[in-house]
Structure 1
């Protein structure tokens, strides 16, 4: 039955090969040319109190990023006071002397987006992007906690945040491999080294933190002379200086923080350690301490790590994953810090493979690379990819990757806001010889080897520390987005603007009078959103194209969306979609998997294939100079997959390993088990939300079945194309027509997803999945609403923001800020195209699992009962949601996402421009009515993953039926 599909694939593949294969030879833009275009013009001045201020002007949107960085991190913590920097970061969001109450209430009123605070070894920062009309309010908040915090710190706030941070630690520890970084620090760093303990700290030190400790920590470290303020966006230095002087000028200098200069640790001999954990497969780590991020050798080591395990075509990938197939995943990277960085590599061993043999082979590959270094082509591919990633990341002014971050990091870590230029120049000038010299110098020193093996987790002390750098620093500070952990519940720039950095002169020497802080500066009027004009066209075969121009960076994003998704999986073949899309990037009929990966790297192009319940999307981010060749690759991936038998077996094992990981991880367990309970097994949405499917099915899927699925579901009749970027529709249409307009239909009858299955009535029950020795319980609850994704759900979603969808929501504030039982809890209206579910997600401490469920139920009953939306909640939410629109669509990726959502839900292309008026039309009665009509707490299904021996009795007090199930056994369990 599959033969006709296969023959049709071959016909279309041949046509595609003839049409576009020669374009792969197109010369990519040289890295040096890309690097030369990168420029972030800025001006800098300093106040008399020592505050350094950097201003970058970017008028593309009426928003300003406010980012303040303090030279204080966990490296400044003395023995017995670990976790203080991170704990204090939390406290600084809990109100100051003149901004009483939670800071997020004020940020919501200002329409802030991309806001958070983070801590890591070397720094603490706070950032938010606000409409320009809210800038003065943001400066009020940042200056008030810098200069007027002491009397705002109370014992109640401290006690609460100790509980929150301890739950953050439990949440991290509860993940597979969640204890690795404790061991990494122990193996690499002497305990007396500034990096010798984790950022999140130990349970005992956190518990012992006193109010006097916290106040002294503040006065010792948070003076203006120890801070850098960056303003980036719709502002210039002439506008910025008077505002900064007004709000920060009267703050007194703080003590001078001592500069640290610890030696780089070196091991005397190879260290070897082993630990067991609830993990899907053995993971083999190799760690070295290497020079800090300012050392020229760091750039070479960073390239070395990327060649080894950071590229899709990395050495370790090609040898261990693709060729020898003894591993299912590999990674190598550098973690950059000021006083010494970490070079790490790891291999996830293929289940059933000989661990010792893989370990030996791993070391052989590392030794060979260290001695011989990379090829010139590998170095060029790394440089192109890095330059392209940095250019794309700096489209935004703030957030985790924007221009404010880049300038602040350079100023704080390297005493040069333009240090990104030095980094890129080093990258562009990198050679194989420089990389080899660095690896032989630094990686021939003794290594730390850690093997994590499947099995029952080893016992560990609660005060062993947190996730090294992970608590508030999950990722390289100069290469990846800032960590999203913060207090909220997880580069370079192309510019047509001329000029380098310019100094703006010395600050005024006149003493500045204290400003009146009795009234908070509310945000002024903000113009309604001007969403980019969306142009529409149709290719000759009927594929619809939607286009929006965004020219801030020379990047073009394309998404080819298909009406498929996990819901299109045959009910007897769950996991087909996921396995098929995984194979799309593993080779075409013109390029094998390695050649395809290398082609993307040479072009600085990133092609991804993803699915949700309704859609399968193949997307591309490409540099404008390389757009044509990048589109060739995109079309080849979509139209011409090889489904190579050898690659299928490799990818199959990887997907089975991912499924095994889901069986061992609390969130994976919950997301796999809840949807069939809510929808029933016959409904298209009654499938694991992870999309990975049934392991018994994945084990047996054939190439013919995958090819047949591809022919049926990824065909021009189901496709739509969305484009956002630095080009025009006039220029794009011929390029799209050449690659997709001649794509023929296979003339088969279209299969449809059947949504006629009856949805089971909610029963108000608890499914308890026993996961022994869990340090935390995960609550996931839900019900299917009488609503479709195509309905106008804005009032319901806004009501849910108040009840559980926002940081300031009742559920989160109760469980986190009032009770301290959770790091973060929320409710959400998931938005597939058809039957919409309401979900609750709450990781909570084990001994408060039952009370947490009871508290959530009380909040829901109160909201739909006599405790509906208050005037304060209405004003905060409606005003904040309207003001946030200015920053919501700053990035082209956000515009692209909105365009796809509008198409999925059948909305007009300018729908986003109607949102402000819709928000203004809302009142309490409308929001209360929407939630009361939708939600019935008595019918929720509660799925709880935790230690049944510790929580079952708590749950019995809720007077609901309880069914206890055992979690699927993880690899290594008996």
Structure 2
């Protein structure tokens, strides 16, 4: 469960107003729906889409941290956690019954103004999730005990510690406290204070539930494979008996104005200076809202934004900039944040920021800027509509906010209608006022009806749906590039990936980090376009292009609108084939890459990962060096290095294209041929990567990395695992699922749910063609570091010994896997990801359809044999934390020889 500002997406409204005369349906537009209200006031919205056998369920309550009285900060979020610990008729964890039916994306979140819960379930599981949701809406309190309250209090406090342990985490809290008066509902952070969380009582829980969790204060949205008639029957059966709850008065608007500029400078464990300028602005019900959204995009969204151009590209004062409008029900904030390059004078950066603002206030936006942002936002909208989960969230959020499930479409229309003079007027009205400047520097009424539901038992899961793989077609371009394609007609978009052999492992024999740096610099323009022109061309086409990689593969992705597919593929071809690698771009990106490495060395999670990886593979292995490189090596990169990598690896005889979306195969092949068919391989020899085997570790190794003052210890434990093509990986993955592969896994239930020492714990087997890595990961409160290590050791030993995987655990894992397989096809991007995965690991295209039978054949004995691949007595243990508080206790455990290392991977003692 997570907390967030109430603007969940730019398109989902977060302000409540009493609904006008009800519109029964939204039959037009992008997202048709029907809505109805139960006699107890519960509002229900239904969107039908029978293209896949699943339904997204979103349950929103109109209560958030703004409703917390003094002394109860964080209570809305704490209560959200309690909602996952059972109800009167299901006094057990909320997750397992949903895992049994293959639910996915199950979670909840708390905002300033709302609390919401959601899940995506197979069609046959809809009745069960509605039973569970209605039971905790109407029948919760009998299951809430002091023990559960104490447990979730601990989990929330560890969540707070996790956040507080991250660089720059203090900024939102300081900003809100400085801008909003102490009696303003947005003055305090959503997660609350440790003291108020400690003071929360069962009486508080009862009072909160009775006041805010009535049916008339909630909305349920269903999106997917369900009819309105089915929804009405099920909602009446399960929710009609829920009490409506009392009427709730609400504050509607309070935008504080600062009389003068307020400044604050604080020190924190951060790698570089961050500057934040914030203005109080009206909230989601304001006329200026869309103009302020537009202004934030023009100023600070993406490469073409004014701040990025001025501070990052032209003057290289900052390595990142952002501007955003945070709208909420009562008020809002307009924030600009920049992260300075090392050594840059803060006054110079602030002067440059002010100059950009002054020009924008004086002149307003250009017509091209307005058009570009509108096209980009349209692309965002249609891509979001691919997801059933996001559709349900939009409908519920609009109903809670403005009383209109289709509010997001009204918002989009209003955004598209914004004119330049409106933007200029809005920014002068609000950004011309005094602001708060924060610098963070590195330190030195209804009646309930009868209950028609059988609450003596959980509804059984309906029949499992047959998994149907869309047809896959394959072809070759004239130059030999292989194309693998699936046609999908859901939205007018096409997603593609061009994959090249040689990912991070290609650095071996070259320079560490060169592969990642090279493909990153390719964003900075082509032989005929500057980086700004390339970014502008993408946005004017409504396209997205980016590069990413893993250890074995470099990938270039594109998401295109069907209406501009030909032009987009021409641009994609230039991007991949003809990078400019200009010296000025190289120097700017070099400085940013060095800064990024330095920032990673201040992040305990990054430190743990770098050191752990180094210990597993060593410096001379293709998988051993950090993908981001080292600062000293980055400083040596030359244009020749980048060009050599591109010629050796980014070439047609090393490429495969994976495509999915709204394009027929023959049409797409013709378009790809026009864009790529004349691409020939260069004279340079094609690059090859050699990934050596890694010997099994024979003895344990314990490495501590000091991070003075750290409130948590980051833990990584593991060893090398079989290579990616080893047939034993299937059984190992199942074993890992029981041990640490999900919320209800042994490690998470132990360290989080039973002990309350961490916000989460889990294990993983990495994906790689060469030797993989089995690892356990968690972050625990400092005073429980040794205890957590002891528990991890116990779990590792027991799963291969006295407590092997049980039939019940395997069945829970099997259902969770089988019933979520269709998630891999929900979006174009997901389909492309599946196609590239099976190609990489040499599976047939229909591999996924064989998995249900493979899972069904599993037995505890088979999976128990996989435990032999785990070697608890030969693990590498890495702990990053405050050694003055943890070292003695860790040594006393006797896990193995203890070494102390530095963050950069050097042994100190």
TM-score under structure 2 normalisation? Answer: 0.95
| Residue 578 of structure 1: aligned partner | 516
The CA deviation at 1:750 is 2.6
List structure 1 segments (4+ residues) > 4 angstroms apart after TM superposition.
none
Corresponding residue for 1:255? Answer: 246
Corresponding residue number in structure 2 for 1:769 = 705
1:734 aligns with 2:670: yes
* 2:482 aligns with one of 519, 529, 544: 544
Q: 840, 852, 858: which is aligned to 1:904?
A: 840
Give the conservation status (yes or no) of the 8 Å contact 1:82–1:198.
yes
After superposition, give the CA deviation of every residue in 1:638-671 in whole Å (9 maximum; x if it has no partner).
Answer: 0000000000001111111110110000111112
- What's the CA shift string for 1:843-883, capped at 9, x where partnerless? 00000001101101101111100201122212211122211
For residues 516-551 of structure 1, what are the alpha-carbon distances to aligned partners after superposition, in whole Å with 9 as ceiling and x for unaligned? 211111211122211222111111111111001121
Q: Tell me the equivalent position of 2:753.
A: 817
CA contact (8 A) 2:63 2:76 kept: yes
1:444 is aligned to 432
> Residue 745 of structure 1: SS of its match in structure 2?
coil
User: Deviation at 1:965?
Assistant: 2.4
Does structure 2 retain, via aligned residues, the 8 Å contact 1:57–1:232? yes
Residue aligning to 2:416 = 428
Structure 1 segment 616-631 matched on structure 2, within 5 A: 616-631=554-569
Instruction: Check whether the contact 2:157–2:194 (CA below 8 A) recurs between aligned residues.
Output: yes
SS of 1:784 mapped into structure 2: strand
Deviation at 1:212, TM superposition (A): 1.3
> Which residues in structure 2 correspond to 1:248-287 (within 5 Å)?
248-287=239-278
Q: Using CA pairs under 8 Å that are at least 6 residues apart, name the structure with larger relative contact order, 1 or 2.
A: 1
Instruction: Note if contact 2:271-2:602 (Cα within 8 Å) is conserved in structure 1.
Output: yes
Q: Cα RMSD over matched residues?
A: 1.6
Which one of the candidate residues 451, 462, 466 is aligned to 1:528?
Answer: 466
Give me the whole-angstrom Cα distance separating, in 2, the residues matched to 1:788 and 1:111. Answer: 26
Distance 2:254 2:863 in 1: 59
Matching of residues 672-711 of structure 1 within 5 Å: 672-688=610-626, 691-711=627-647
Correspondence for 1:592 among 530, 549, 559:
530
1:670 is aligned, of 608, 629, 637, to 608
How far off its partner does 1:322 sit? 0.9
Number of residues paired by the alignment?
A: 877
- The 5 Å alignment of 1:466-865 reads 511-571=449-509, 573-688=511-626, 691-756=627-692, 758-759=694-695, 761-789=697-725, 791=727, 793-865=729-801
CA contact (8 A) 2:502 2:687 kept: no
Structure 1: any 5+ residue segments left out of the alignment? 1-35, 457-506, 970-974
3-state SS of paired residue (2:601): helix
Q: What is the alpha-carbon distance in structure 1 between the residues aligned to residue 358 and residue 873 of structure 2?
A: 61
**What SS does the aligned partner of 1:296 have?**
coil
Match of 1:315 among 296, 301, 306: 306
What pairs up with 1:336-415 in 2 under 5 angstroms?
336-398=327-389, 402-415=390-403
> Is 1:942 paired with 2:877?
yes
| Distance change >3 Å, CA 573–CA 513, structure 1 → 2 | closer
Whether the aligned pair in 2 keeps the contact of 1:680 and 1:759 (CA below 8 Å) is: no
Where 1:245 maps in the other structure, the secondary structure is helix
Q: Secondary structure at 1:81's aligned position in 2?
A: coil
Superposition map of 1:87-486 within 5 A: 87-398=78-389, 402-456=390-444
Cα distance in 1, alignment partners of residues 159 and 103 from structure 2: 24
Q: How far has the Cα of 1:957 moved from its partner?
A: 1.8
What is the 5 A alignment of 1:876-955? 876-930=812-866, 932-955=867-890
What CA deviation, in whole Å up to 9, does each residue of 1:197-218 have, x standing for no partner? 0000000000111111112111
Q: Conserved in 2, the CA contact under 8 Å of 1:97 and 1:144?
A: yes
Aligned partner of 2:10 in structure 1 is: none
CA deviation after TM superposition for structure 1 residue 905, in Å? 0.2
Deviates more, 1:178-187 or 1:227-236: 178-187
Mapped contact 2:505–2:691 kept (Cα < 8 A): no
Contact 1:790–1:833 under 8 Å retained in 2: no
C-alpha separation in 2, matches of 1:116 and 1:789: 33
Tell me if structure 1 keeps the 8 A contact 2:40–2:448: no
Distance 2:722 2:834 in 1: 24
What is the CA–CA distance in structure 2 between the aligned matches of 1:381 and 1:878, rounded to whole Å? 46
Match of 1:16 in 2: none
* Distance in 2 between residues matched to 1:659 and 1:696, nearest whole Å: 10
Cross-structure match for 2:18: none
In structure 1, what is the equivalent of residue 61 of structure 2?
A: 70
Does the 8 Å contact 2:244/2:448 carry over to 1?
Answer: no
Per-residue deviation, 1:283: 1.0
| 3-state SS in 2 of match to 1:732 | helix
Tell me the SS of whatever aligns to 1:825.
strand
Question: 428-437 vs 239-248, which deviates more?
Answer: 428-437
TM-superposed deviation, 1:182: 1.4
Whether 2:893 is the aligned partner of 1:961: answer: no
Native 8 Å contact 1:66 1:128 kept in 2: yes
Displacement of 1:953: 1.2
Alignment partners' CA distance in 2, 1:38 and 1:680: 57
Once the 2 structures are TM-superposed, how far is the Cα of residue 692 of structure 1 from its aligned partner? Answer: 0.6
Once residues 371 and 282 of structure 2 are traced to their aligned partners in structure 1, the CA distance between those partners, rounded to angstroms, is 23
8 Å contact kept, 1:789–1:836: no
Three-state SS of the structure 2 residue aligned to 1:824 is: strand
Residue 610 of structure 1, CA deviation = 0.8
Residues 270-297 of structure 1: CA distance to partner in whole angstroms, max 9, x if unpaired?
0000011222211111101111123231
Taking the aligned partners of 2:397 and 2:691, their CA distance within structure 1 comes to 51
Retained in 1: the 8 A contact 2:213–2:245? yes
Displacement of 1:571 in angstroms is 4.5
For structure 2, the 5+ residue unaligned runs are 1-26
The structure-2 alpha-carbon separation of the partners of 1:796 and 1:670, relative to structure 1 and needing over 3 Å to count, comes to same
CA distance in structure 2 between the partners assigned to 1:804 and 1:756 by the alignment: 28
> Aligned partners of 2:519 and 2:672: how far apart in 1?
22
- CA offsets 1:893-935 (integer angstroms, 9 cap, x no match): 11111111000000001111111111111111111112x2211
